């Protein structure tokens, strides 16, 4: 990846910074970080709870959850998103845990979509609740979904997800398609020795369906660093396997800030995406930040830096003050992760960040 103009050192989480302690940031321009990157995409974790326990996401089946009182209320979440929109954020992705477990989700999405400046709302989900929710969510303003599906073998899927039903996920996939949650994207985290032998079968879904199937490298977040160290299958290796079987893959048009490198199999209706955060980082074009369910802005997925918005809100911060804190956090955003230097995130696991 391209080298940054300067480096931000350390991985210690940032403590709460009071609004009056931040530098005054202009409010008439969209937020940019210290490296000139336009940050306009907020991934919002609605809960750290999930109705599955995927091995690359939840390190132990009995992982404790944050108490409900620690999570942002709907009113607090809406305040944050209004302030983020004022700072120039335009796209939201709702994540978890599993976001469909959030109470009053349909009403929340309707309120989020009504916020001036918010142009698109997507959601990453395991699809188990989509047969009932896909239609209402679409009507409320949800634009599209990414659905996690790590194996097409029912037994292996149950093992990876620790009890999930592949048939129920497929029902959710078809419900999303029927509701018009397009473009429909399917995600698989590929782990060597676990599901990498299914890559050809997973990719072949795009031959008959106008979907995008995304292969994601397993990342060394808290609790799964060992699995990640041994299990990473590079996107380059996957591309080579696919080309050897299907023939030369055709590159697709690449959106600058999209983390997935896009290709198409010969004659396919759909596309393939490769997200290689570990072996081929895309930090130079990163445009995103993450809001945890307990109200912290997490500045980089693979670092531990955070700014606490919940503390500010519960201490009476106004909309304008929260906007200043968000702009401050954007300014502090690190250039990228420190995996090549041996830096490993210790603060949160995937279930708390939503990817």
Q: Which residue has the higher pLDDT, 10 or 306?
A: 306
SS3 readout for the chain: CCCCCCCCCCCCCCCCCCHHHCCCCCCCCCCECCCCCECCEEEEECCCCCCCCCCCCCCCCCCCCCCHHHCCCHHHHHHHHHHHHHCCCCEEEEECCCHHHCCCHHHHHHHHHCCCCCCEEEEEECCCCHHHHHHHHHHHCCCEEEEECCCCCHHHHHHHHCCCCHHHHHHHHHHHHHHCCCCCEEEEEEECCCCHHHHHHHHCHHHHCCCEEEEEECCCCCCCHHHHHHHECCHHHHHHHHHHHHCCCEECCCCCCCCCEEEECCCCCCEEEEECCCCCCCHHHCCEEEECCCCEEECCCCCCCEEEHHHHHHCCCCHHHHHHHHHHHHHHCCCCCCHHHCCCCCCCCHHHHCC
Instruction: State residue 228's pLDDT score.
Output: 62
For residue 10, give the nearest of 311, 300, 317 by alpha carbon.
300
Instruction: State how far the Cα of 285 lies from the Cα of 2, in Å rounded to an integer.
Output: 10
Number of residues assigned to the chain: 355
Structural domains present in the chain: 19-353 (3.20.20.70)
For residue 124, give the nearest of 102, 151, 154, 144 by alpha carbon.
144
Instruction: State how far the Cα of 122 lies from the Cα of 216, in Å rounded to an integer.
Output: 18
> Residues 95-110: what's their mean pLDDT?
96
Confidence of residue 346 (pLDDT cuts 50, 70, 90): confident
Q: Which residue has the higher pLDDT, 338 or 147?
A: 147
For residue 141, give Cα distances in angstroms to 134, 247, 273, 288: 11, 39, 25, 21
Instruction: State how far the Cα of 80 lies from the Cα of 318, in Å rounded to an integer.
Output: 10
Confidence of residue 142 (pLDDT cuts 50, 70, 90): very high
Instruction: State residue 355's pLDDT score.
Output: 66
Residues in a beta bridge with 215: 188, 274
Q: Which residue has the higher pLDDT, 43 or 12?
A: 43
> Residues 116-120: what's their mean pLDDT?
98
Q: How many CB atoms lie within 10 A of CB 222?
A: 17
């Amino acid at each position: 990846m391209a080298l940054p103009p300067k480096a931000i050192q350390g991985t210690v989480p940032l403590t709460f910074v009071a609004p009056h302690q931040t530098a005054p940031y202009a409010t008439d321009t969209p937020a940019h970080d210290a490296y000139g990157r336009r940050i306009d995409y907020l991934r919002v974790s609605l809960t750290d709870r999930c109705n599955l326990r995927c091995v690359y996401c939840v390190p132990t089946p009995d992982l404790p959850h944050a108490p409900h009182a620690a999570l942002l209320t709907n009113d607090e979440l809406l305040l944050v998103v209004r302030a983020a929109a004022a700072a120039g954020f335009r796209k939201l992705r709702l994540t978890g845990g599993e976001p469909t477990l959030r109470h009053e989700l349909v009403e929340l999405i309707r309120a989020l979509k009504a916020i001036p400046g918010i142009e698109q709302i997507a959601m990453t989900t395991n699809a188990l609740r989509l047969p009932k929710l896909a239609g209402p969510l679409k009507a409320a303003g949800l634009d599209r979904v990414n659905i996690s599906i790590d194996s097409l073998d029912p037994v292996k899927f149950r093992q990876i997800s620790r009890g999930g039903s592949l048939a129920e996920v497929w029902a959710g996939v078809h419900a999303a398609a029927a509701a018009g949650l397009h473009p429909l994207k399917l995600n698989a985290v590929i782990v060597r020795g676990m599901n990498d032998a299914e890559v050809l079968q997973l990719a072949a879904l795009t031959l008959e369906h106008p979907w995008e199937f995304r292969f994601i490298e397993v990342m060394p977040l808290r609790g799964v660093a060992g699995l990640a160290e041994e299990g990473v299958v590079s996107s380059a290796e996957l591309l080579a396997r696919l080309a050897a079987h299907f023939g030369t893959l055709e590159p697709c048009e690449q959106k600058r800030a999209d983390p997935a490198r896009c290709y198409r199999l010969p004659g396919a209706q759909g596309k393939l995406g490769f997200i290689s955060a570990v072996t081929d980082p895309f930090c130079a074009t990163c445009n995103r930040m993450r809001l945890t369910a307990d109200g912290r802005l997490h500045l980089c997925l693979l670092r531990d830096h955070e700014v606490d918005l919940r503390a500010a809100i519960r201490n009476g911060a106004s909309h304008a003050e929260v906007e200043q804190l968000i702009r401050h956090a954007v300014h502090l955003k690190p250039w990228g992760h420190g995996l090549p230097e041996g830096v490993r995130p210790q603060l949160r696991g995937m279930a708390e960040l939503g990817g």
